[in-house]
Amino acid sequence: MYKIIFVLVFAIASCLGLHAQEFQGMAIYESKTSTADFKTRMQGNKDMTPDMQKMIEERMKKMFEKTFILNFNKSASIYKEEEKLDAPGQGGGGMRMMSSMMGGGGTFYKNVKEKSYTVDKDFMGKEFLVKDSLPNLKWKMEAETRVIGGYNCFKATAVRPASKTDFRNFRGKKEENATAKPTDATKKTSFMDEMNIPKDIVITAWYTPEIPVNQGPENYWGLPGLILEVNDGKTVILCSKVVLNSKVKAEIKAPSNGKVISQKDFDETVIKKMEEFREMNQGQGGNGGMRMRIGG
């Protein structure tokens, strides 16, 4: 009798564990980044014709408006940009590099159980495998609620340091007054001196306890429910569709190709390369500002 009860209990426990292990979901996110700063700088460039400005704005729209797919289970997730065919002349090196610096171009794997992430990055023709700990976001639970896609959501906010290698955080410095005295040409400046990057960014997230997983887009996590929307003041990532327990299961595993590197070392590599671009531009008679070809 005891043996039968033991077998039944073991079978039920195994079944429950199997269901928990098999649970999987898929969420589609639309990411949009404000281009106001870039448009202002283009309008102030006297060398840029209206046709050139229109062409760049169209290509910028492709970079600043993206679709991502998040496949997740109870402990891990993969977040990847939806694959789209580039139109002829639209897939240049500058475009690909900018895309990589704007959250695209790789597979972002999160393991919330181990509090770690792995993301593959293709930068300047080299493959990197960035491995590091997930950011420790100290979420503040707010009282506001709203409905997103039929799910009841709660608001949470957090403050996090701004990434120096995420192009979405860049704000070009305002042009100096034309009558102002020129700065000392002998004074050495760096690429980072040319950009305005806020020290901290306020994150607003909306999560739903109706999908009780500790997951979200990009490297956002740590709330008692799937994060359906994130807003950092410049970029909004909004979930447009959720599918739970589909018969077709996605493989959720970390990418493995590329040179293993920490986030700090990868950031330093990117900044160093941007500095080389800047110095190259100076050597060709440029004004020292950062310029990048958007086309092919």
Secondary structure class of 232 (helix, strand, coil) = coil
Pseudo-torsion of CA 276, 279, 281, 282, nearest 10°? 180
Q: What is the pLDDT of residues 114-158, one digit of tens each?
A: 999 999 998 888 899 999 999 999 999 999 999 999 999 999 999
Does a structural domain hold residue 268? yes
- Domain span at residue 243 reads 23-173+192-283
Please tell me the total count of domains within the chain: 1
The residues with which 226 forms a beta bridge, in sequence order, are: 208
Task: Identify how many contiguous H helices and E strands the chain contains and give both numbers.
Answer: 5, 14
- pTM, two decimals, is 0.75
Does a structural domain hold residue 179? no
Q: What is the pLDDT of residues 161-199, one digit of tens each?
A: 888 777 676 655 544 343 444 445 455 555 455 566 778
Distance (Å, rounded) from C-alpha 230 to C-alpha 221? Answer: 11
Does a structural domain hold residue 32? yes
Asked whether 239 and 29 are in contact (CB, 8 A), the reply is: yes
Q: What is the pLDDT of residues 31-80, one digit of tens each?
A: 998 876 665 555 556 666 777 766 766 676 677 889 999 999 999 999 99
111-136 burial, b if ≥16 CB within 10 A, otherwise e?
A: bbeeeebbbbbbbeeeebbbbbebbe
Asked whether 137 and 158 are in contact (CB, 8 A), the reply is: yes
Does a structural domain hold residue 14? no
